[in-house]
Amino acid sequence: MNELNPDFVDVGRGAAQRRIAVVHAAGAQGETGDSSCGVFWLSGFKSDMQGSKAQALCAHARSKGFASTRFDYSGHGLSSGDFEQACVSDWLEEALCVFDRCCKQPTVIVGSSMGGWLALLLALARRETSLIKGLVLIAPATDFTEELMWKHRFTDEIRQVIERDGRWQQASEYSDDPYVITRKLIEDGRKHLLLDKPLFVGCPVTILQGQQDPDVPWQHAVRLSEALPRDDVTFSLIPDGDHRLSRPQDLALMIDAVDHHLGLA
C-alpha cells in the first residue's frame, strides 16, 4: 500500500489523537471531465482504501478529470490507532474531518457496507453545505452494530461474553485476522442509529444491493430505502450479487451511478 504515498491528518486531541492516512487527488480538466466535482470513498468495517472498489472509483475519477479522496479509518490500513479501541464515533469524526479538508467541490460520497452508514451520517451532518451531489451506497450496513449483530446474529451466549469480557472474536470470511467485536463498539453504535426514524439527507441516493449478500440481507437495504421518504432513492437489487459487489459488472454499476449523480452520464 505504500505506493499510495498518503498524506497524514491529525484527528482528535490529547490521548485520543490519531494520524489518519489520506490520499487526495485534485481534479485535472480532462477531455470529458470536470475538475469542479469529486468523489469521496468510505470503506467498510475492517477494510482499507486499497480495495478493488476504491481503486476502480479513483481510477475512473482520474480518467474523467475530477477529484477523488479516500482514507483509512483509525485502526485500519496505514492510519494509526488500535482497532479494538475505535468505534463509530471515531470513524465518523475522521470522515467529517477529511471531507471538510479535501472536498471543496460538489462531491458524490460512495460508501461500502459500514461506509454506507457513515456516508449517511456524514450527509446528515453536512446537509446544509450543498456540497453533496449524491450518495452511492453499496450493501449499506446501516445500524449494523445493533440491527445486524446484536439483535439478529449474536446468540445470548455471545452477548453475555461481550458484556462480561468487553470483547468477542468473530472469524472473518474476508480476512485472515478475526473480527474483534467490543462492548465499546456496540454501545457507541447506539448513539448513531438511523433506522428508527424517517431520514432526510437532501440529495439523491443510489443503493446497490446483492440479493445473495450473507452479511447485509437485501431486506435490510429495502428498510433503508423506506426510511428516506423525502429523498430521490434509486434501489438496484442485483440477483446474483454478494456482499463485496466487486465483479467487473458490479464496478460498472457503481461508476454509472457516480456519473449519474455528477451529471456525466
Is 213 an annotated catalytic residue?
Answer: yes
| Strand-pair partners of 109 | 40, 135
Catalytic residue among 48, 143, 188, 213: 213
- Give the residue from 96, 111, 110 showing the smallest Cα distance to 11: 96
- Give the residue from 116, 24, 21 showing the smallest Cα distance to 75: 21
Rg (CA), the chain: 18
Is 113 an annotated catalytic residue?
Answer: yes
Q: Report the residue count for the chain.
A: 265
Phi and psi torsions of 217, nearest 5°: -60, 145
- Give the residue from 141, 157, 145 showing the smallest Cα distance to 186: 145
Cα gap 174→154, rounded to integer Å: 19
Is 175 an annotated catalytic residue?
Answer: no
Give the angle 151-152-158 at the CA atoms, nearest 5°: 75
Asked whether 84 and 162 are in contact (CB, 8 A), the reply is no
Catalytic residue among 90, 113, 188, 192: 113
Residues 6+ apart with CB under 8 A from 165: none
Cα gap 29→262, rounded to integer Å: 15
Pairing of strands 205-210, 132-138: parallel
Catalytic residue among 60, 243, 250, 261: 243
Q: How far is CA 232 from CA 26, 112, 150, in A?
A: 29, 19, 30
Task: Please give the positions annotated as active site.
Answer: 113, 213, 243
